[in-house]
Each structure stands twice: as structure tokens, then as C-alpha cells.
Structure 1
Amino acid sequence: MERSVRFQSDGLSLSGILRLPDGLRPGERRPAFIVLHGFGSNKKAGNVLKPVQMLSELGYATFRFDMRGCGESEGERGRLICTEQVSDTRAALSVVASQPEVEADRIGLLGSSFGAAVAVYTAGVDERVACVVSSGGWGNGERKFRGQHATPDAYARFLAMLQEGRRHKEATGESLRVSRYDIVPIPDHLRGHLIEGSILTFPVETAQSMFDFRAEDVVGNIAPRPLLLLHSSEDSVTPTEQSMAMYERAGQPKDLHLFAETDHFMFDESNTRVRTVVVDWLGRFFPVDRKEGQSAPRRGLHAGTANPA
């Protein structure tokens, strides 16, 4: 069962969908996941719908929504500022926690790419997040862009674009619009994963906000809540070292899995091994049925492993 939910974030109306698992009994509450979309995408993307389907089959409630400026939500189209997306996610947490079918203290975040960075950062600053699953995420915007614009000339062009954007804003009072591929290069063979309605141009302030964003600075605050980091071992979009660096900075319990036979859009690719790893991890660290007497994780509890797979 799905129902549409409109909610407010900083005075903007955002569009979300709550999905309840089959077999939910009257008065029963379930743990939930908020599934975050990627860069300039929306709640209909494959990297959102396929995790939602998997989680629903496992018995979790799910919530997916359009960040401000995306999809059916209000806000200047394409103006994606990382800290504002964190605010949107925290607003979504409040909404999901208020749903009568949801265990308010058992709400996890699952995000891909940009959404993964937002998920990690949100959990690092908001203790209401019960666990995090990050797929192809990043923790340091400056270092990420150095890896994505891999040659000295390419990186110099990227920095020049940021500088030109600042000059343009000062001279005209308006934002310079730039192509999504000038911000985040995506190989041609992966562009088919972009959902219809994905944003193709952004104000340059979006690139600057990503450059300045550092989820790795707060990833250590997530412990003792569980963290699962997933990444392609050769990611064509986001450098693999981003998840590896966040793993090093995170506290226990934490897991890192690297996959050789998938790429950046691993959930959309319906990779069987990815699903198996996620299902096993959830069963261990965030099961649907909480054991009798079990409460939400408290600081000071430690367990976990690193598993490049």
C-alpha cells in the first residue's frame, strides 16, 4: 500500500510516498527506511524504486521523496545545495516518525551517490537516524572532484567554471547555469540510468556546495549506529576511495563491501550479490523484528567488520 505525503521543509512543500509492506496488521508498527535519490534525480529513479521494492519485500516501511528543486517538490529547479538536502532529509525523518505504522526510533537512511553523501551527513548530525546504507557515496567533495576530473587540464577547467560562476553572480546578480556533465562526468554507457525528468543544468552554486561538502567530517558520529558502505571496485562516476576513506573515519559497527562486477548504479543494475550483502547485513544489524528487550543502539556499543567483496 502506498500513500502520497506532502510535507514542509524550510517553508517549501516536498512530495513523498510512504509504502507499507504487505501483511501489516492493524496497529502494528514496522521499522522504516527513507530512500534518497541521486544528483538531480527524483523519487521515481531505478536506484530508488528497486531498493524500495527490496526493503518492502523484507517487511520494512519505506519513504521516498523529491528533494527541493527536484521532481514534484517546490524550490528553484536544479538548485541543489547539500546542506539544504540534509535539512530536507531531517524534515522527512520527522514526517516518517509521525506515521502510525512506523517505529519512530527505527528509521534508517539508504542513499545512492549524492543521496548517499546526504544520508551519511544527516546521520552524522541527527541521532534519530537508526542506521545508514550508502551506495557509491562520497565524503569529501574537493577530493571527489579531483578524481572525477582526473587530468590536470580537466580539473583546471572545473575550478575555472566555479570561478566564472562567482564572477557571473557578482556581475549580474544571477546564477550561471552549467551542464550536469561538467559538474559530474558520466560515461555515455551509464547515462541510460538517468530517469526521465532528471535535471540536466544546474546553477554553479550547486557544484560549489558539493565541492565544500564533507560527510567524512561527521561520519564518525554515526557510531554505535550501524553503517554499511557499498561501492563498485572500479566506479566510473564516484572514486572508490571515497567510501574507503569514510570507512577509515567511521566507528563501529561498520562494514565496507566493494563489488567487481557492477558499476555506479548498482541498485538499478539489480546485482544479486549486492542484494545478498544488504539482506544479510540488515538481518544482523537492523532486522524487521526487534528482539524482546532490544532497544535502539546507544553510544559505547561496538561490533562490525570490513568486507571488500
Structure 2
Amino acid sequence: MEEKVHFYSDCLKLVGTFYTPDNRKDGERLPTVIGIHGGSGTSTANALKIIGQRLTDAGYAFLTFYHRGFGDSEGIRGRSIWQNRLRDIQDSITYAQQRPEVDPERIGLIGLSIGGAYAVYTAGVDERVKCAVEVGGMGDGERRFRTRMPYYDFMALQDQIKEDRIHRVLTGESKRRPYRGNEYLGPEHQKLREKQKDKETYDKQGYPLENTDNLMSFKPESVVHQIAPRAVMFVNAERDAIVPVDEARSMYAKAGEPKKLMVISGSGHGEVYPANNPEVFNSIMKESLEWYARHL
């Protein structure tokens, strides 16, 4: 069963979808997983719907929503500030706990791409999260940029950010670029974007450079040790040109038990999505469902 829902975070209306199994018994309170979308706000929407279907088939309730500024939610379009997203997720937990279908003591998270990093950070600072799964997330925003681009390009990016900080103070707005204009892509992802460009429309306004500036200070790795004794699972692709697999390995090394690391050999960032590589996606769902069954 699928229900359109909404809740509020910092007085902004956030819109989402709540899924429950068709065979749920009256009065039954279910373990519940909250799905967190990626940075574009669009590319993971269909994947999260399929994840929701898989989880409800396994007896879980599932909630996914658009962060402020994305989808049908209120907020400045395309603006992504990690402190705000953290509040959105924590408020989504509060909302889920009020629903009669949800067992408030059994809340899990799953996040895709940057959403995976938010899942880790939220679990690190909010003990209501009993089990988290991150797929393709990073541990340190600045390190992730430094390791993915030539140093000259990194210095040029820093210059652009410095100029944009002044521009924001004087005008109240951040300069906007296409979503992938804020990224440094490897050949694998360039080919994937060409394949997808007719299937997906990004926000025509572009995305604020402020997003990249803010992401530099985002370090889920700094709180990952606080998740234990609650459970966390890291899933990253071996040949990921967007989020190097060493990000997951570094977080895993700093996390306490119970923890698990799944490295998908020969695959890239986009292949974790069902539309791109169903075999890889199915393997991730199999491991995730086993992890939730054990810890949630």
C-alpha cells in the first residue's frame, strides 16, 4: 500500500510517500526504514520506490521523502545544506514514529549516493536509528573532492567558492550551475549521463555553488564511531568515479561493531541503481535485507 504524506521541518512542508505491506494486520507495528535520496534530488527517486517495494514485501514499512528544495517539498530550489538535510531526516524519524503502523523503537535508514552519507551521519548523532545502510556515500567531503580531481582544478574550485561567498553576502544568492557542473566526472559516469540524459530532467535553474562549499565541511566519518553498538553497513562500488571506494573503507575502519563492508567489484557509481544494473541492485538488496533482518 502506498500513501502520499507530508510533514514539516523548520516550518517547511516536506512531501513523501509511505509504504506498508498489503498483508499488515490491524494494530501491527512494523520495523520501518526511511529512504534518503541523492544530491540531484531526482536520480534516486525511482530506485527508492523499488527499494520500498522490496522492503514491504519483506514485512517492513518504508518512508521516503524529498528534502527541502527538491521535488514537491518547500524550500529554495536545489539548495542542499547538510545541516538542514540532517534536520529533515531527524524530523522524518519523528513523523514516522507517530504513525500507528510504525514500531518507534525499530527505525532504520538507507541512503543512496550522498544520501548514504546522510544515513551514516544521522545514525551517528541520533540514537533512534537502530540500523543504517549507506550505498555510495562519502566519509569526508573535502577529501572526496581532493582525491577526485587534479589539484589545479581543486584550486580553481576553491577560487570559485571564495568568489561565490562574497556574491552571496552582497546579493543574497549563490551562483548556479548545472548539477554536474558542480562535479568532476570520470569516464564511466560521463557515459552513464549520456545514456540517461533523455530519461531524466534536472532542475533547469541549476544548483547553487553554495552546495559544494557546504559539502566541503560535511564529514560523516567524524561521527561514525558513535553508531556502535547499533549497526551500520557500507556499500560502495569498486570503480566508482564519483565517490571513491576508499571513502567506504575509511568509514568502515573507524566504525564499531556491528558493521559490514560490501565492495561491488567491477562496478561504478551509477550501477547500484536498478535501471542501470539490476544484477548489482539485487545483490545490494539481498545483503541489505539480511542486515535489517539481523539488526532491525
Do 2:114 and 2:137's aligned partners in 1 also have CA atoms closer than 8 Å?
yes
Partner of 1:33: 33
Do 2:133 and 2:288's aligned partners in 1 also have CA atoms closer than 8 Å?
no
Partner of 2:3: 3
Distance apart, 1:37 and its partner CA: 0.6
Q: Secondary structure at the match of 2:15?
A: strand
Identity among equivalent pairs (%) = 35
Distance 1:225 1:198, change over 3 A: farther
Partner of 1:282: 289
Distance apart, 1:44 and its partner CA: 6.5
Partner of 2:166: 167
Q: Which shifted more, 224-233 or 52-61?
A: 52-61
Q: Secondary structure at the match of 1:33?
A: strand
Do 2:110 and 2:119's aligned partners in 1 also have CA atoms closer than 8 Å?
yes
Pairs within 5 Å for 1:128-143: 128-143=128-143
Q: Secondary structure at the match of 2:293?
A: coil
Structure 1 unmatched runs, 5+: 291-295, 297-309
What is the letter of the counterpart of residue 157 of structure 2? Answer: F
Do 2:80 and 2:211's aligned partners in 1 also have CA atoms closer than 8 Å?
yes
Partner of 2:269: 264
Structure 1 residues 230-279: Cα deviation after superposition (integer angstroms, max 9, x where no partner): 00001021111111111011110100011124321303334435534543
What is the letter of the counterpart of residue 100 of structure 2? Answer: P
Structure 2: distance between partners of 1:5 and 1:281: 25
Partner of 1:219: 224
Distance 1:37 1:272, change over 3 A: same
Q: Secondary structure at the match of 1:286?
A: helix
Partner of 2:87: 87
RMSD after superposition? 2.1
Do 1:131 and 1:226's aligned partners in 2 also have CA atoms closer than 8 Å?
yes
Q: Secondary structure at the match of 1:83?
A: helix
Q: Secondary structure at the match of 2:229?
A: coil
What is the letter of the counterpart of residue 279 of structure 1? Answer: K
Distance 1:129 1:13, change over 3 A: same
Pairs within 5 Å for 1:1-309: 1-42=1-42, 45-148=45-148, 150-186=149-185, 187-191=189-193, 192=195, 196-199=200-203, 201-265=206-270, 266-268=272-274, 269-272=276-279, 274-276=281-283, 278-280=285-287, 282-283=289-290, 285-287=291-293
Distance apart, 1:226 and its partner CA: 1.0
Structure with more of its chain in helix, by fraction: 2
Structure 2: distance between partners of 1:12 and 1:23: 33
Structure 1 residues 75-131: Cα deviation after superposition (integer angstroms, max 9, x where no partner): 000111011001000000011111111111111000011111111111111100111
Partner of 1:299: none
Number of equivalences:
288
Distance apart, 1:155 and its partner CA: 1.3
Distance 1:270 1:75, change over 3 A: same
Structure 1: distance between partners of 2:258 and 2:285: 15
Structure 1: distance between partners of 2:278 and 2:257: 26
Do 2:137 and 2:247's aligned partners in 1 also have CA atoms closer than 8 Å?
yes
TM-score (norm 2): 0.90
Structure 1 residues 186-232: Cα deviation after superposition (integer angstroms, max 9, x where no partner): 43222255773533622222111111101000111111111110000
Do 1:47 and 1:267's aligned partners in 2 also have CA atoms closer than 8 Å?
yes
Structure 2: distance between partners of 1:41 and 1:277: 21
What is the letter of the counterpart of residue 63 of structure 1? Answer: L
Do 1:158 and 1:183's aligned partners in 2 also have CA atoms closer than 8 Å?
no
